[in-house]
Structure 1
Amino acid sequence: MAFALEKDKHYTYRDYLTWPDDMRCELIDGEVFMMTPAPLLTHQNVAGEIFFQAKSALRGKPCQALIAPIDVRLPRHGEADEETDVVVQPDVMVVCDSNKLDRRGVRGAPDWVVEVLSPSTAGRDHIQKRRIYERHGVREYWLVHPIDRLLTIYRLIGGEFGKPDIYELQGATPVEAVPDLEIDWQAVLPYLPSDDLT
């Protein structure tokens, strides 16, 4: 039986919980954004290597690295879970406050979020999700561009993302929001598309 969403309806996490398990989507300000059935291998390998490095670096420390798919609910101040209209699934994240973790995933802003860009989601990651992460207090937001081999970093300054820093994917980049964590791009390079495939 096919599942259909109502056009122009404002959805909340209450609705989200009733949808089929195989329906992968994000909820941004009440609007549903369907996710591709399965990301490309490059995307998964890059996200997996970043997660592996973060998980390894943070073993035995208070901060915890997580990888999609995992629901991150971003309620407004005092808003009940069922009423929140923002549910996202960042590719990789670190949460340092264990009170934000529960059986459903994460409630509240992760400290560090990484989105590995795909052609089908790059616009949403750059615009809607950047705005959402800023509004809800994500301290550091990374956008990894596998094809261009670039990294864009937004850091929260005074409640707003400042001007982004842009780097080539080389050497190692420290995560300012998470002590003792840096990403070594040399280990990621084998998973990036070669120039003759772009």
Structure 2
Amino acid sequence: MATSITEKTKFTYKDYLKTPDDKRYELVEGELLMTPSPATCHEWILKNIGYELESFSEDKTLESPLLTDLKIKLSEVFEF
């Protein structure tokens, strides 16, 4: 009896950029995941990132960062 093995599609950062604009997706090791609403901890982390970016922009005379559409790309390939 033959067994069919189905490979999962590996998504890329370009694929991620094509997702709907509801900001509920994450790309983890080539897998596209729909994420739940942010928890309180997530909001605190976002606030701290915003504070650091704001401090940087004041020092460098850049415009104030908007965090509503913040995307952080760590690398093309996730490695430990």
TM-score, normalising length: structure 2: 0.52
Higher relative contact order (CA 8 A, sep 6+): 2
The answer as to 2:42 corresponding to 1:53 is no
> Which structure has the highest strand share of the two?
1
Work out the number of aligned pairs and report it: 70
After the TM superposition, list the runs of 4 or more consecutive aligned residues in structure 1 that deviate by more than 3 angstroms: 64-69
In structure 1, what is the equivalent of residue 42 of structure 2?
A: 43
> Which structure has the highest helix share of the two?
2
Structure 2: segments with no counterpart, 5+ residues? 1-6
Q: Would the alpha carbon gap of residues 18 and 51 (structure 1) be closer, same or farther in structure 2, given more than 3 Å must change?
A: closer
Q: CA deviation at 1:21?
A: 1.3
Structure 1: segments with no counterpart, 5+ residues? 1-6, 76-85, 87-131, 136-159, 161-198
Q: CA deviation at 1:34?
A: 2.1
Q: CA deviation at 1:29?
A: 2.5
Separation of aligned partners in 2, 1:26 and 1:53: 23
Q: Would the alpha carbon gap of residues 57 and 22 (structure 1) be closer, same or farther in structure 2, given more than 3 Å must change?
A: closer
Q: Conserved in 1, the CA contact under 8 Å of 2:25 and 2:34?
A: yes
Q: Would the alpha carbon gap of residues 23 and 39 (structure 1) be closer, same or farther in structure 2, given more than 3 Å must change?
A: closer
TM-score, normalising length: structure 1: 0.27
In structure 1, what is the equivalent of residue 3 of structure 2?
A: none
Question: 3-state SS of the aligned residue for 1:21?
Answer: coil
In structure 1, what is the equivalent of residue 31 of structure 2?
A: 31
Q: Conserved in 1, the CA contact under 8 Å of 2:50 and 2:67?
A: no
